[in-house]
Chain A
Amino acid sequence: MPGFSGEDAASILAERRYRAIADMLGATVAKGEGRWTYTDISDHVFLHRWLGIPIFLALLWAVFQFTFSLSEPFMVMIELLFGWLEGLAEDGISNPHLASFVAGGIFDGLGSVLVFVPPIFMLFLALSILEDSGYLSRAAFVMDRLMFRLGLHGRSFIPMMMGFGCSIPAIMATRSIDGEKDRMITILVSPLISCGARLPVYVLMAGALFGAERAGMVIFSIYLLGIALAIIMALVFRRALFKGEPSPFVLELPAYSMPTAEAVIIHMWERGKWFLARAGTIIFGTVLIVWFLSAHPWGATSGGELIENSYIASLGHLLEPIFMPFGWDWMAAVALLFGFLAKEVVVGTYGILLGVEEASLGESLVSLGLFTPLTGFAFMAFVLIYVPCVATIGIIAKETNSYRWAGFVVAYLVALAFAVSGLIIGVGRLLGFS
Chain B
Amino acid sequence: MMDFSIKTGKMFAIYALVLGAICLLAGLVEILGGSGEAIPGDVFGGFVLVVMAATYLAGVKGALHGRHEGLSFLIGGLFLTSVFGVLYLLMMGADGLMYLLGEAEALPALTEARPEIWIFILSLPLACRVRSLTEGMTW
Give A residues with C-beta under 8 Å from B.
32, 34-42, 44-46, 48, 50-51, 54-55, 57-59, 61-62, 65-66, 69-70, 72-73, 76-77, 80, 213, 217, 220, 255-258
Contacts and interface: CB of A to CB of B under 8 A. Distances in A.
Contacts of B84: 62
A331 to B, nearest CB: 26
A55 B51 CA distance: 7
Contacts of A37: 137-139
A58 B139 contact: no
20 contacts: A34-B137, A37-B137, A37-B139, A38-B138, A38-B139, A42-B75, A44-B72, A45-B55, A51-B51, A51-B55, A54-B47, A55-B76, A58-B47, A58-B52, A58-B80, A62-B84, A65-B91, A76-B101, A217-B44, A220-B44
Contact of B90 (A46, A58, A66, A220): A66
Contacts of A76: 98, 101, 103
Contacts of A59: 83
Nearest to B97: A73
Contacts of A41: 68, 71-72, 75, 134, 137
B87 A65 contact: yes
B90 A70 contact: yes
Given A41-B71, A70-B91, A257 B139 contact: yes
A58 B58 CA distance: 17
A68 B44 CA distance: 15
B21 interface: no
Nearest to A71: B94
A137 B56 CA distance: 24
A45 B72 contact: yes
Interface size of B as a range: 35 or more
B43 interface: yes
A294 B133 CA distance: 67
A139 to B, nearest CB: 15
A23 B4 CA distance: 28
B33 to A, nearest CB: 13
A73 B94 contact: yes
A61 B91 CA distance: 14
A91 B124 CA distance: 56
Contacts of B42: 217
B72 A34 contact: no
A59 to B, nearest CB: 7
Nearest to B99: A73
Interface in B58-84: 58, 68-69, 71-73, 75-76, 79-80, 83-84
B55 A55 contact: yes
Contacts of B91: 65, 69-70
B98 A34 contact: no
Name A's interface SS. helix
B136 interface: yes
Interface string B16-47: 00000000000000000000000010111001
Given A36-B68, A41-B134, A44-B72, 19 more contacts: A32-B138, A34-B136, A34-B137, A34-B138, A38-B139, A40-B68, A45-B73, A45-B76, A50-B54, A51-B55, A55-B51, A58-B80, A70-B91, A70-B94, A72-B94, A73-B98, A76-B101, A255-B139, A256-B139
Contacts of B44: 61, 217, 220
Contact of A42 (B58, B72, B87): B72
A72 B68 contact: no
B48 interface: yes
Contacts of A77: 101
A128 to B, nearest CB: 15
Given A45-B76, A55-B76, A72 B139 contact: no
Contacts of B55: 45, 51, 55
B70 to A, nearest CB: 10
B87 A66 contact: yes
A92 to B, nearest CB: 25
Contacts of A69: 90-91, 94
A73 B83 contact: no
Contacts of B43: 217
A62 B83 contact: yes
A108 B76 CA distance: 46
A41 B58 CA distance: 14
Contact of B54 (A36, A46, A51, A65): A51
B69 A44 contact: yes
A38 B78 CA distance: 14
A-B pairs with lowest CB-CB distance, top 8: A45-B76, A73-B97, A44-B72, A41-B72, A69-B91, A54-B51, A58-B48, A58-B51
Contacts of A35: 3, 68
Nearest to B98: A73
Given A59-B83, A217-B42, A217-B44, A45 B75 contact: yes
Nearest to B50: A54
B72 A39 contact: no
A46 B76 contact: yes
A158 B59 CA distance: 30
A80 B101 CA distance: 10
A95 B90 CA distance: 46
